[in-house]
A and B are shown apart, each in its own frame.
Chain A
Amino acid sequence: MDLDPSEDQRELQQMISRFSLDRFPADTVRDFAEPGRFDRSAWRELAELGTFGIALPESSGGVGLRWIDTVLVHETLGAALTPGPLLAATLAAGLVPGVLEGEVVPAIVERPTHGAVVIEHLSVADVLLVIETDGVRQIDPSSLDATLLTEPTDPATPVSVVRDLPTGELIADAAAAERLRLLGSLLASAQLVGNAEGSTTLAVTYAKEREQFGRPVGSFQGLKHLLADCYARTEVSRSAVWAAGVLVDEPEAGDLRRAVAGARVLAGRAAAENGKTCVQVHGGMGFTWEVDAHLFLKRAWVLETAFGSIDEAAELVAEALAASLS
C-alpha cells in the first residue's frame, strides 16, 4: 500500500502545470468560450506532452503510465483552470484517430433521457462522441443543428444546445461506454479537487495581502476558519479521488464504482464550497468579473454536472453500502 505520489509523479504534475499556466494564462481563460478563441496550436502542444494518452500503452502512441497518473494530471489541469475539452480528449484518445495528437478535437456528452442536449466545447469540436447505454456513438458535428449559446455560465466553457441528436455511428460497445462514464466522472472529480485547491490558494493569497482595521484580513479567525475548512475539504476529497484512481489500476483492491461515486460527492462539494469561500474572502472584489474567483466557481459548476450529479453519486454509494451488508 502506498497512497503518496512518487517524485516522478510530482514532476509530471509540475511539468503539466508549468506548461498550462504559460500557454493558457488567466487572461486567455477569461474569454475562452468566445468564438475564435480556441487555439489549435496550443491544444496540439498540450497533446504533444502526452496529456491525453497518459494511460494509453506506448504501442498505441500513449505514455504507458497508469490511470492514477491520469488522475494526477487532471488534478493539475483543474488547479490551473486549463480550458478546452480535456475530459473529451482523454476519453476519446483511445477511440478516435487524431485525438491523441491534438489534430482532432473531440466533444463528448451522455445522451439524456429527454429534452434538448447541452454540450460543452461542441463549437470547436471535429467529432462528437455520445455515451449511451448500449455503446459509444460518433457524430460529425457539422451535420448537427446546434445553437452556440452567447452567455455560457463559465466564460471558459463554450456551450451549445442540440435539439435533435441523431443516432450516429456505433464505435464501441456497452462495456466501453460504461467504462468511459466511470473514467469521465473520476477525471472530472480530479479536476474538481485541483479546482478546490486553486481557489483556496487564490483566497489565501488575497487574505494575506488585503488589509482592513490595520492588519491583514487573514489574521482574523473568522477568515482563518473558512480557509482551514477549504484546506480540509481539499485534502479529504483528494484522498478519495486518489484511492479511486488507484482502484482503476487495481480493481481487485476495492469497490471501484463506489469509490468513483464517493469521490464525486466529495470533490464536487469541495470545489463548490471552496469557490464560494474564495468569492466571499475577496469581499466586493470577489463579485467583480476581473478577479479570478468566479472562474474557479463557475468551472466547478460545469465539472459538477459531468458524467452524473452529486445526488446520483450519493445514491450510488448508499446502494453499494447496502449491497455490502447483505
Chain B
Amino acid sequence: MHLRDSESDAEFRAELRAWLADAVPTLPAPPDAQDWPGRRAYDTVWQSMLFEAGYAGVNWPSEYGGRGATPTQHLIFLEEAAAAKAPDVGVGFVGQMHAGPTLIAEGTPEQQAHHLRGILTGEHVWCQGFSEPGAGSDLASLRTRAIRDGDDYVVSGQKIWTSHAMVADYCELLVRTDPDVPKHKGITWLILPMDTPGIDVRPLMTVQGSAEFAELFLDEVRIPVTNRVGDENDGWRVTNVTLSFERGTGFVGELLDTTNIMRELVELAQRTPRGAGTAWDDDGLRRDIGAIAAELDALWAFTKRNVSQGAKGGMAMGSGSAFKMSYATVVHKLGDIALRVLDRSSLAFDNIGGESTGAQIHHKLKGFAVGIGGGTSQIQQNIIAERVLGLPRER
C-alpha cells in the first residue's frame, strides 16, 4: 500500500501541473451563475482547451478519443485541476460522466461516431431525463410513454431535476415502451435532440434561489428509432451498465470544493470578532471544525481506496453508497458550523462585511442536493443494509 505517486504518475502530475499553470490564467472571468448561455460558453471554452491539450476524457478509453489514463491518473487530474482553480466539468457533466460512457458501452458505431467527439470537445452539451414527478427513489416506475410509430417513437410525459436542460443539445431519456410487463422490463434508453418540436423546458428554482434544474414537458415528441441505445425494453440494464463505470472519482470535484469552503470558513472564523477575541478562539467551534477536517481527510482517503480498488477491477459493493451518505452528512455539519461563525451575517446570500459569507450559505444548502440527488441517503442505507450486510428485504 502506498500514498506516494509512482514514477509514471509523478510524471503525469508534473506535466499536467505545468500545463494548468499556463492555461488557467488565460480564461476569462467566470460568468454569473444565472447566465446560462454564458456558463455554457465558458465551460465549452475550457473543455476545448482540455481537448486540444489531450486532457479531455482522461478516463475514457483511447479508442473512443479519451486519454485512456488509469483511475489513479484520473484522480490526479481532478486533484490538480481543483488545486489550480480550473473550472470543474460544469455543463459537460452529464455528457462526460454519464451519456458518453453509456454510448461507449452500449451505443452503435454510428451513435458513437456522431456523439462522442462532440462531448469531448465541449461542442455537445447533454442533460439527463431520468426522474419524473412520480418516479424518484422508485425510478423504475417512470411513466413517460413512448409509442412506436413507423421509424419513430412518439414520446409524451414529464421529466424533472433535468440539470442544464436550458442549454443542452441532447438528453439521455428513459421512457416506458411496455406498460404491461414488470416495471424494470419495459424501459428504453433514447437519445433526444433538444431542438425536437414538442419539448417545453421550464426552469425549476431551488432553495439556493437559482435555477440549476429544469422540468421537461414532452408532448408527442418524435424520436427516431435509430436514436435508441440498446434494445427496446432493455433500458434499465443499459442505465446500470453505465453506473458500473464508476471508479470512485464521481465526487472528487465536490469533495475538493467542500474542502475549500472549510478552509475559507477557518479563515473567516479567524477574522470574525467574538467576545474578547475571534470565533476561532472558541474551543468548541475549533474542535468541531477539526472533526469536520478529519472527516474530509478520511473521505479523501476513502476515495483513494475506492480508486485503488477500481484500478484492480471494481469498487467493493456499498463503497459508493457509504461515501455518498457520509459526504452528505459532512456537508450538513460544516454548514451548521458556518452558521455559527456567520451569526447574523447569515441573514442574506449577499456577502456581508466584505467577507464571502454568501458562499457558505450556498454550500450549506448544497448538503440537501448531496443527500437527496442521485439516490437519497436513506436509499443508500437500504442498499448497504440489503446488498452488503445481507439483511432481508422489507415485504
Contact = CB atoms under 8 A, between A and B. Distances in A.
Contacts of B385: 218, 224-225, 227-228
A116 B6 CA distance: 50
A31 interface: no
B304 to A, nearest CB: 4
Nearest to B310: A4
Contacts of A313: 290, 294
B339 interface: no
B239 to A, nearest CB: 23
Contacts of B263: 321, 325
Interface in B362-395: 378, 380-382, 384-386, 388-395
Nearest to B72: A1
Contacts, number: 193
B386 A266 contact: no
Interface in B251-302: 262-263, 266-267, 270, 280, 283, 286-291, 293-295, 297-302
Nearest to A200: B389
Contacts of A239: 298-299, 301-302, 304-305
B3 interface: yes
Interface stretch (A94-102, A159-167, A174-182, A256-264): A256-264
A98 B297 CA distance: 38
B308 interface: yes
Nearest to B5: A1
Interface string B122-146: 0000000000000000000000000
A71 to B, nearest CB: 9
A258 B392 CA distance: 40
Nearest to A231: B384
Interface in A290-325: 311, 313-322, 325
Contacts of B302: 235-236, 239
Which of B5, B289, B290, B393 has the most chain A CB atoms closer than 10 A to its own CB? B290
Interface in B171-202: none
Interface stretch (B28-36, B45-53, B317-325): B317-325
Nearest to B259: A321
Interface in A22-62: none
B1 interface: yes
B312 A228 contact: no
A204 B390 contact: yes
A4 B312 contact: yes
B1 A318 contact: no
A224 B304 contact: no
B382 A311 contact: no
A4 B266 contact: no
B391 A218 contact: yes
Given A259-B297, A325-B267, A215 B308 contact: no
Given A207-B391, A231-B384, A318 B287 contact: yes
A243 B389 contact: no
Nearest to B287: A314
Interface stretch (A131-139, A148-156, A244-252): A244-252
B278 to A, nearest CB: 11
B297 A262 contact: yes
A9 B318 CA distance: 22
Contacts of A68: 1
A85 B305 CA distance: 30
Contacts of A207: 391
A219 B395 CA distance: 8
A188 interface: no
A7 B355 CA distance: 51
B134 to A, nearest CB: 21
B227 interface: no
Contacts of B88: none
Contact of A318 (B290, B304, B388): B290
Contacts of A1: 2-6, 9, 72, 75, 304, 307-308
5 contacts: A228-B385, A252-B4, A258-B293, A314-B294, A319-B290
6 nearest A-B residue pairs (beta carbon): A318-B290, A262-B294, A224-B385, A243-B301, A240-B298, A228-B381
